Structure 1
Amino acid sequence: MPVTTPSPRHSDPGAAAPGAPTLRPGTLGTSDIAFFVVSAAAPLTVMAGVAPLAILLGGVGAPVGYLLAGLTLAVFAVGFTAMSRHVRGAGAFYAYITRGLGRRVGIGAALLALLGYNGMEIGVYGLLGTATQDTVHALSGAHVPWLPVSLAGLLLIGYGGYRSIDFGAKVLGVLLAAETGILVLLAAGVLLKGGAHGLSASSFAPSHVLVPGMAAVLAFAFAAFTGFESTVIYRREARDPARTVPRATYLAVGFLGLFYAFVVWIAIQAFGDAEVVRAAGDDPAGLFFSAISTYVGGWAADTMHVLIVTSVLASLLAFHNAINRYGLALAEEGVLPRALARVHPRHRSPYVTGIAQTVLGAAVVLAFAAAGADPYQQLLLWVNTPGMLGLLVLQLLAALAVPLYFRRVSHHEGVLRTVVAPVTAAVLLSAAIVLVVTHLDLFTGASAAVNTALVAVVPLIFLAGFPLACWLRRHRPGVYERFAAEPADDTGAAAAP
């Protein structure tokens, strides 16, 4: 059973002083939170940049891979959102994992969350540089160096995180509408013209789905959903979080799964079942641009080039906001320095955490540039990959935490939500992690030694939480006992497993 200890929130070592500014409650609705989550996934970038490889490897059955990944994560969301109604702490993943699996595992999960979200953001600054290079070259033939673009992006995203959360939601709403809109325009062109040889449903035939390459497609598909679970990070700023957070989670998963599958199917129809694999192999980077030029016009391809850049910026801003709130929560816990818990008095944003994250990002980008590393092959892929794996492992740990948590507390949730769905999700997520690890060379294009090192980072960071937990228990017992506790403003007490 949980141990309940009276502990006013403001007495925590990292908590804000009485009267200090806090995050602005009641600001975000369901659509606002969904914008953050879907923007982090960068649908246009994923489709134009990765989907051609999925088609090349999995053939015309590739759309089903995205549906299966979405279905798996929807099953995960059943238990995850059920637990969200009971766990009101600000630590998202690590709070859930702590409540189900204990503080030591939870502290390891907190470190893994920092790795995961920072890795998913910082590596993308390399993609921002190369995407901007490609766009400028495609539109004007000029060449721009990637480093100034990435550093400018760091400053721009830092400013976006410094501003209020509703400012970020409005920006992401506009950018997301633009990037999904161009894909809808492509779809309309293909559907109106009937595709290359008429519309076909053969993508969903078992003979095209049950092929060896589908394992690789599933690995790409699960990676395409990374960050969807961050809905719970915005709990403190949500309107009616008990309803808003689950709705936003299901909305994000449902939209991404159906939209990804639909757009990949559209790309197949644009070239035809017999020709699309060859087209993807001949020019994977140009597949979507060629399709939209043919079915809509060259101006639409030019617009897509620009929107790739804004898609990357939207993803960066979404991950930056998520990282800032994780850092704020850990500073309030007393695990990170107390200064990181400061909230801007006017914008009500975790601006000190945001500044620290921007400085960290700049340090990593400059280090890769100084080493002469390739911004895409190394900065993006080598930094992103441990981040992606870290978030998949966190999803697995959260799925395992759900049934253990509900065994310890009184509740009125059904067995489907508290046992069947999370256990099923844990099995499926384990399979997803195996698929990603065994196909890692498709993500990185790196040597076996590099891939081994990238994978090894994830368990090493997680296991580092165990000695940290022991140190906290011995030297800062108050911090340890209150880690991932329920906030006093919700319950009047801080409870921890």
Structure 2
Amino acid sequence: MPVTSSSTRPAESTTSPAPSLRSGSLGTADIAFFVVSAAAPLTVMAGVAPLAILLGGIGAPVGYLLAGITLAVFAVGFTTMSRHVRGGGAFYAYITRGLGRGAGVGAALLALIGYNGMEIGVYGLLGTATQDTVHALSGTGVPWLPVSLAGLLLIGYGGYRSIDFGAKILGVLLAAETGILVLLAAGVLIEGGAHGLSLASFTPGNVLVPGTAAVLAFAFAAFTGFESTAIYRREARDPSRTVPRATYLAVGFLGLFYAFIVWTAIQAFGDAEVVEAAGSDPAGLFFSAITTYVGAWAADAMHVLIVTSVLASLLAFHNAINRYGLALAEEGILPKVLARIHPRHGSPYVVGIAQTVLGAVVVLAFAAAGADPYGQLLLWVNTPGMLGLMALQLLAALAVPLHFRRVSHREGVLRTVVAPVAAAMLLTTAIVLVVTHLDLFTGASATVNTVLAGIVPAVFLAGLALARWLRRSRPDTYARFAAEPPAEADAAEAP
């Protein structure tokens, strides 16, 4: 047998595959955990639903149902696009297909502002929620800033680890926060409410009232982040099925769960008394109800679980931001260094570190200015984020029929035209409702509200300008923007 010397032996490749996201890591339930956790159901119910009841009366549960129906209609076209666009850019990739690269770049910047706004502002809520919990349980006070900074580090670590690690954490936290609300509902149903159970909340006379417009504004805000299912396409098992299923599951669960829990809270006090109770102590409405129907220990548990609910929302948004940042770094819109993926955890860890640093800068800036962590850090930063994501939903709905007019496909007209056009009309109404009731979200002056609302069109216009610059100065980058990845990039779709 001939011997081959080391000098003549063919060179063996020592190059290892480049690190990549963990394809096939997430199933339907995992992705649904991410998007439902981002909505923070317990925080929305205990913190915002009393205001919806105060403004809209006992018809408030229907507002959440109507918002859920609207977003389910939007999901029809959105999930249809998800089967035809394989890239990781979700919103901006869909919008590029239908409205062109200029609008796509504008949408990419809106996504960065929207998701960062929704996350960074919530660090103010983390600080105040922890303050309230510590005071309720021990009677002592804690400063909000160290809590918020500790939260930044904790969430940064969660994003640094693998995506399935985050899914397991969110699964536990989501089960806990929804569990305490189910416990409240069970107590109310078993006891029969304050005066017996009533379906008056669903009658036209209680729904068609002036305050319903404000309820709808709160309700649409309560679903923010549900569309991030498509961001996890590259890590999903069989994404052409998993992403649509997770989207419908998230929308359906949130719409029905919100409406049911708000209705049970109304029953806890009675149709005639609940509005007065919400007006006298909105922050304590749910705690009072669970103390009465379950026990003081459950109210203590609810205080703790609100903090974990906020943490779950932060981790979900952090992971979404990381994947948008990764996609844009791979596109060449953001610095290439942000496209690095951890060789062990398969996470976009560099963009995660950058996002954590950005969050720390914003939080410290608000603290240095003496701003209120809830009334200013949370509300002023969250508001343009929420409006940005709603604007992205509208642009995506408009993009669907325009895209399918240009390509050959086998999708039905209901999915590619009727549902997206209906969703665009409904989302336009929702945006108008939110903008015209912005003072309910911010508690700020008309000048501040104008600035906050104006950030969204300003960012989109900046994106259009950036697209024009890219087309002139970096034509290769512009031409590759939101292009379809190679077919093998969807290898995870195999069952």
Give me the TM-score of the superposition, normalised by structure 2: 0.95
Which aligned runs of 4 or more in structure 1 are off by greater than 6 angstroms? Answer: none
- Give the aligned partner of residue 299 of structure 1: 297
- Give the aligned partner of residue 106 of structure 1: 104
Counterpart of 2:57, as a letter, is: G
Counterpart of 2:184, as a letter, is: L
Q: After superposition, give the CA deviation of every residue in 1:208-252 in whole Å (9 maximum; x if it has no partner).
A: 000000000000000000000000000000000000000000000
- Give the aligned partner of residue 3 of structure 2: none
- Give the aligned partner of residue 187 of structure 1: 185
- Give the aligned partner of residue 136 of structure 2: 138
What is the aligned counterpart of 2:329 among 328, 331, 339? Answer: 331
What is the aligned counterpart of 2:249 among 245, 248, 251? Answer: 251
RMSD: 1.0
What is the aligned counterpart of 2:239 among 241, 250, 254? Answer: 241
Question: Aligned runs of 1:154-303 on 2, under 5 Å?
Answer: 154-303=152-301
Counterpart of 1:375, as a letter, is: P
- Give the aligned partner of residue 374 of structure 1: 372
Question: Aligned runs of 1:332-347 on 2, under 5 Å?
Answer: 332-347=330-345
* Cα deviation, residue 489, structure 1: 3.8
Secondary structure of the 1:381 match is: helix
**Correspondence 1:438 to 2:436:** yes
**Correspondence 1:89 to 2:103:** no
Question: Aligned runs of 1:282-431 on 2, under 5 Å?
Answer: 282-431=280-429
Secondary structure of the 2:123 match is: helix
- Give the aligned partner of residue 4 of structure 1: none
**Correspondence 1:126 to 2:118:** no
Counterpart of 2:471, as a letter, is: R
Counterpart of 1:308, as a letter, is: I
- Give the aligned partner of residue 7 of structure 1: none
Equivalent pairs counted in the alignment come to 476
**Correspondence 1:67 to 2:65:** yes
- Give the aligned partner of residue 475 of structure 1: 473
Counterpart of 1:460, as a letter, is: A
Gaps of 5+ in 1: 1-16, 493-497
**d(CA) in 2 for partners of 1:63 and 1:490?**
46
Q: After superposition, give the CA deviation of every residue in 1:316-337 in whole Å (9 maximum; x if it has no partner).
A: 0000000000000000000000
Instruction: State the identity %.
Output: 85
**d(CA) in 2 for partners of 1:413 and 1:466?**
31
Secondary structure of the 2:23 match is: coil
* Cα deviation, residue 490, structure 1: 4.2
Q: Kindly indicate whether the alpha-carbon contact (under 8 Å) linking 1:26 and 1:240 is maintained by their aligned counterparts in 2.
A: yes
Counterpart of 2:40, as a letter, is: A
Higher Cα radius of gyration:
2
Counterpart of 2:308, as a letter, is: T
Counterpart of 1:326, as a letter, is: Y
**d(CA) in 2 for partners of 1:19 and 1:116?**
34
**d(CA) in 2 for partners of 1:253 and 1:203?**
21
* Cα deviation, residue 466, structure 1: 1.2
* Cα deviation, residue 283, structure 1: 0.1
Secondary structure of the 1:23 match is: coil
* Cα deviation, residue 491, structure 1: 8.0
**d(CA) in 1 for partners of 2:305 and 2:235?**
29
Counterpart of 2:238, as a letter, is: D
Q: Kindly indicate whether the alpha-carbon contact (under 8 Å) linking 1:36 and 1:169 is maintained by their aligned counterparts in 2.
A: yes
Q: Kindly indicate whether the alpha-carbon contact (under 8 Å) linking 1:52 and 1:287 is maintained by their aligned counterparts in 2.
A: yes
Q: After superposition, give the CA deviation of every residue in 1:282-309 in whole Å (9 maximum; x if it has no partner).
A: 0000000000000000000000000000
Gaps of 5+ in 2: 1-14, 491-495
**d(CA) in 2 for partners of 1:372 and 1:489?**
52
**d(CA) in 1 for partners of 2:20 and 2:100?**
28
Counterpart of 2:232, as a letter, is: Y
**d(CA) in 2 for partners of 1:400 and 1:370?**
42
* Cα deviation, residue 387, structure 1: 0.0
* Cα deviation, residue 122, structure 1: 0.1
**d(CA) in 2 for partners of 1:150 and 1:206?**
44
* Cα deviation, residue 19, structure 1: 2.5
**d(CA) in 1 for partners of 2:464 and 2:199?**
51
**d(CA) in 1 for partners of 2:474 and 2:346?**
29
Q: After superposition, give the CA deviation of every residue in 1:342-400 in whole Å (9 maximum; x if it has no partner).
A: 00000000000000000000000000000000000000000000000000000000000
Counterpart of 2:453, as a letter, is: V
* Cα deviation, residue 18, structure 1: 8.4
**d(CA) in 1 for partners of 2:444 and 2:472?**
42
**d(CA) in 1 for partners of 2:488 and 2:102?**
24
Q: Kindly indicate whether the alpha-carbon contact (under 8 Å) linking 1:88 and 1:490 is maintained by their aligned counterparts in 2.
A: no
Q: CA 1:18/1:451 → structure 2, altered by over 3 Å: closer, same or farther? A: farther
* Cα deviation, residue 458, structure 1: 0.5
Secondary structure of the 2:24 match is: coil
**d(CA) in 1 for partners of 2:76 and 2:323?**
24
**d(CA) in 2 for partners of 1:423 and 1:491?**
31
Give me the TM-score of the superposition, normalised by structure 1: 0.95
**d(CA) in 2 for partners of 1:427 and 1:19?**
47
- Give the aligned partner of residue 47 of structure 2: 49
